[in-house]
Structure 1
Amino acid sequence: MVLDLLVIALAIAVFPLSATAFVLVLAARRGLWKGLAFVLAWLACFVAVIAAVLLTTGGKPPAPRSAPSTASTAVKLAVGVALVWYGVRRHRRGPRPRPSGGMMARLDRISLWEAAALGPLLQPWGLVAAGAATVVDADLSHASSFAALFGYCLLATSSLLAMEVYTAFAPDASRLRLGRLRVWLQTHQDQALVVLLLGVGLFLVARSIYQLTSGD
């Protein structure tokens, strides 16, 4: 479980579409507060998903090869296959046209509540679903499971937290460097997305097939 959560959390943290949107939110008027609303809603969504899974399982992992265990692994397999399929499709389609400055103008006018709504909306829900299927194996009778779940939430949100803190303590420097980051993300977004989708997708497929065939 820990390895799966680590890989999924890292993929969520560096997901190009979410990172680009958050940089634009920070660059808007009152961007620091809008960014905070975005991060808090993003984190709250993670906690809600994990809580829903744990309430369903009662904090006890299903027995190997049981129906719930097989179903959770099948979900990860399906997500992995979908990520690989979309990554290949995105690669074959080639670079997509970039949005105009109108997006920046729209984000500049959003309210705090709208910024908060963007947090859960812009999460990579395929990866979140894979994480939820992995959380099924959490055993709350062991402190290590609590640590793993806490680390999962923190790591998945780490890139947003880092940008938010940097903007709060170094607003001038962050404006310049985050602007460069935005340009880089917009220039290399398609390549980064394809590599990420294929890498995580193949990992999930391989891990799921192993678990289904070995019963672990």
Structure 2
Amino acid sequence: MVVDLVVIGTAITLGPLHNSAFILLLTAERGVRRGLVFILSWLAGLLMVIAAVILLTGGTPPARQSVPSTAALAGKLALGLGLVAYGERKRRRPPRPRHAPKWMERPDRVSGWTAAGLAILLQPWAMVGAGAATAVDANLSSIASTLALTGFCVLATSSMLAMELYTTFSPVAAEAKLRGLRDWLDTHQDQAIVSLSLLLGLWLVADSIYQLVE
């Protein structure tokens, strides 16, 4: 479970869409405040998903090869196949011009509520769902499982936490570097999405099949 959560959390935190939007908010006027709202809303979304899984399992992992355990693995397998199909389709599709949303034209006018909504909207829910399917195996009576779930949420947010702290303590240096990072993300967005989708999808497929036939 721990290895799966690390792989999924890393894929989530490296996602180009939410990082690009977060940088735009963070480098705007009063961006640190909006960035904090974005992060808190992002974490709330992750915690709600994990909490829903824990409520369903009662904090106790289902027995191996039971119906709930098999259903969780089947769900993770389906999500993996979906990510592979999405990544391959995006890889084969010729590049298309992207039209930026209107809020990106004036990020300094984005309200706190809008920032919170963007955090929920831009979460890679297929990857979060894979994390939830993995969390089914968590045993809350074990400190290791609790730490693993906590670490997953922190890892999935780590890129934005790092940028938020950097901007808070070194605003001038951070603004220049983050703008450069956003330009790079915008240029390589499709490649990053394809790579993350294919790599994580293949991992989920292989891991799920292994556990199903083990």
Contact 1:28 1:104 in 2 (8 A): no
Query: Which residue does the alignment assign to 1:201?
Result: 201
Amino acid at match of 1:205: V
Deviation at 1:103, TM superposition (A): 4.7
CA distance in 2, matches of 1:4, 1:101: 34
1:72-109 deviation line (CA, Å, top 9, x unaligned): 00110000000000000000113232335955224332
> Could you tell me which residue of structure 1 aligns to residue 172 of structure 2?
172
TM (normalized to structure 1)? 0.96
Change (3 A) 1:153 1:100: closer
Q: Residues 101, 38 of structure 1: CA spacing in aligned structure 2 closer, same or farther, 3 A cutoff?
A: closer
**3-state DSSP class of the match of 1:63?**
coil
The letter of the residue matching 1:143 is I
2:148 corresponding residue in structure 1: 148
Q: Letter of the aligned partner of 1:140 in structure 2? A: L
Q: Are 1:96 and 1:190, in contact at CA under 8 Å, matched by a contact in 2?
A: no
Q: Which runs of 5 or more structure 1 residues have no equivalent in the other structure?
A: none
- Structure 2 match to 1:36: 36
Superposed, 1:126-141 pairs within 5 Å as 126-141=126-141
Query: Partner of 2:65 in structure 1?
Result: 65
Give yes or no for the alignment of 1:104 onto 2:104. Answer: yes
Moved more, 102-111 or 36-45: 102-111
Cα deviation, residue 116, structure 1:
1.1
Unaligned runs of 5+ in 2: none
Q: Distance in 2 between matches of 1:5 and 1:24?
A: 28
Amino acid at match of 1:139: N
Are the aligned partners of 1:16 and 1:192 in contact in 2 as well (CA < 8 Å)? yes
The 2-side partners of 1:44 and 1:212 are apart by 31
The CA distance in 2 between the partners of 1:183 and 1:103, in whole Å, is 18
Verify the 8 A CA contact 1:140 1:146 in the aligned structure 2: yes
- CA separation in 2, counterparts of 1:152 and 1:98? 32
TM-score, normalization: structure 2?
Answer: 0.97
Q: Percent identity?
A: 58
Moved more, 84-93 or 114-123: 114-123
> What is the alpha-carbon root mean square deviation over aligned residues?
1.2
**In the alignment, residue 162 of structure 1 is paired with which amino acid?**
A
CA shift at 1:37, angstroms? Answer: 0.2
Taking the TM superposition and a 5 Å limit, the aligned residue runs for 1:1-12 are 1-12=1-12
Between Structure 1 and Structure 2, how many residues are aligned?
214
